[in-house]
Amino acid sequence: MSTPNPSARNGSPAAVLRTVVGLVLMAGGYYLSLHAAEIPWLSFQHTLEKQGIPLDLGITAATIGVFLILFPIIRFFYIAPLEAAIQERNTQLERTFSEAEELRSEMARLRSEYEERIAQTEADARAQIQQQIREAQQMRTQLMAEAAERAEELLARAREDIERERQKVLAELQLRVVDLSLAAAEKVVGANFDSEQNRKLVSEFIEKVEAAG
Amino acid sequence: MDARIAKRYARAAFSAAQKVGAVQAVEADLGALAELFEHPGAFRDFLLTPKLGRDAKVRLLSTRLQGQAHPLTFALLGLMLRKGRQAELPQVAEEFRTLRRESERVVFAQVASAEELGAQERDALVRSLERRVGKRIEPSFAVDPSLLGGVRVAIDNTVFDGSVRGSLQRLRRILEYDVLRQV
């Protein structure tokens, strides 16, 4: 804010004119006030005074002249600081309003950004949720397929085990039958094998041993 | 028991017996002593007891075996006693017998039959086995009723099985193989 320069204004033509006019009015007014009774066109002041309205145009003009002469001083010591304070205040207010406006704009921008960010975050979250759901569904499908495959495998293995066990039991049973049959055969042969048959068997062995060589 | 030690003693004794022409006598002595040693009794206890010193055992043996065993047998037994190898006596006797058979190109055959074989059957069997293996046979006959019938001959690691039990066992193996092959 710029402070008015009284000295510059005092040096300007308007200031000089105002001072001259002030001096003329002060001098003229003082003269009119002293010689009012002698001037006809000022007789109405006498009439007004009688009616209770005291009016002295000479003093009024002299006061105006004094005011015009003293105006730069009043302006320098009172009006200019007041104008400066007002200007300062206005500037502060403007700056405050400007800052408030800027803050409002910033808040609006931030709010917009925030809303955009929230929207983006929501969109991202939705996308991620969708992705997670898809992955979970894929995993579920895969797990179910694996579980089915595993179950099938276990079932097949169980069938193989059962079949193997069945074959094993069957073989054991057949071996047992072989054992029993041969044990019975041994008993039968032992009971019915006489010396003659034994000698015949020995003779055959002797022939076979030599023939095999 | 270390078979190498038994072979070493047997080889030394056999070589000495060959030089003096006492292979049969020493083999018979060693066989009899080994049989005594293998059965629990006074002779076995005497050889193995730690209460008597080795020299005392040798002295006692010299008095007991004098005139009953060949001097080479006594010398061998005394040496084994002094070296603490008397427990190897059965193996030394067996190795001695093996060396004698090798030197005479004779193979040992264990013949088992369900019934006692007659002399003719024995001779025929031995001749047949000799033609088969191309060597002289030294048979050992035994009766084994569990064979049910027929005869079984074992020569070294070869077995000629003509017994009823052997036939049944072969039949058992064939049947078992068929059963297991189906599994």
The string of pLDDT tens digits covering residues B159-183 is 999 999 999 999 989 988 888 887 6
- Give Cα separations from A174 to A180, B18, B58, B85 (angstroms): 10, 60, 63, 53
- Residues in chain A closer than 8 A to B155 (CB atoms): none
Residue B36 has pLDDT above 90, yes or no: no
pLDDT (0 to 100) of residue A12:
81
Cβ-Cβ contacts under 8 Å for B79 (sequence gap 6 or more):
B9
Name the one residue in this structure whose structure tokens are 């017994």: B163
Helix B54-65 vs helix B71-82: crossing angle, to nearest 10: 170
- Residues in chain A closer than 8 A to B113 (CB atoms): 198, 202
Minimum CA–CA partner of B131 in chain A = A210
* Cβ contact A209–B176 (<8 Å): no
Contact A186/B at CB under 8 A:
yes
- Residues in chain B closer than 8 A to A199 (CB atoms): 121
Q: Which of B133, B150, B175 sits opposite A205 (nearest CB)?
A: B150
Is the distance from CB of B148 to CB of A190 less than 8 angstroms? yes
- pLDDT by residue for chain A (213 residues), tens only, comes to 444 454 444 568 888 898 899 999 999 999 988 888 888 888 888 888 888 888 888 999 999 999 999 988 888 899 899 999 999 999 999 999 999 999 999 999 999 999 999 999 999 999 999 999 999 999 999 999 999 999 999 999 999 999 989 988 988 888 888 889 888 888 888 778 888 888 888 898 888 887 765
Q: What share of chain A is helix, strand, coil (3-state, %, to 5)?
A: 90, 0, 10
pLDDT (0 to 100) of residue B116:
92
Is the distance from CB of B122 to CB of B141 less than 8 angstroms? yes
Q: Which of A175, A205, A209 sits opposite B179 (nearest CB)?
A: A175
Residue B49 has pLDDT above 80, yes or no: yes
* Cβ contact A213–B131 (<8 Å): yes
Confidence (pTM):
0.51
Helix, strand, or coil (residue B143): strand
Helix B23-38 vs helix B71-82: crossing angle, to nearest 10: 50
| CA A27/CA A33 separation, integer angstroms | 10
> For residue B33, which of B84, B82, B72 has the smallest C-alpha distance?
B72
- Residues in chain B closer than 8 A to A202 (CB atoms): 113, 117, 121, 125, 150-151, 162
pLDDT in tens, B57-97: 888 888 877 778 888 998 898 899 888 888 888 999 999 99
**Measured over all CA atoms, what is the biggest interatomic distance in chain A, rounded to whole angstroms?**
205
Minimum CA–CA partner of A207 in chain B = B128
Name the one residue in this structure whose structure tokens are 């308007």: A14
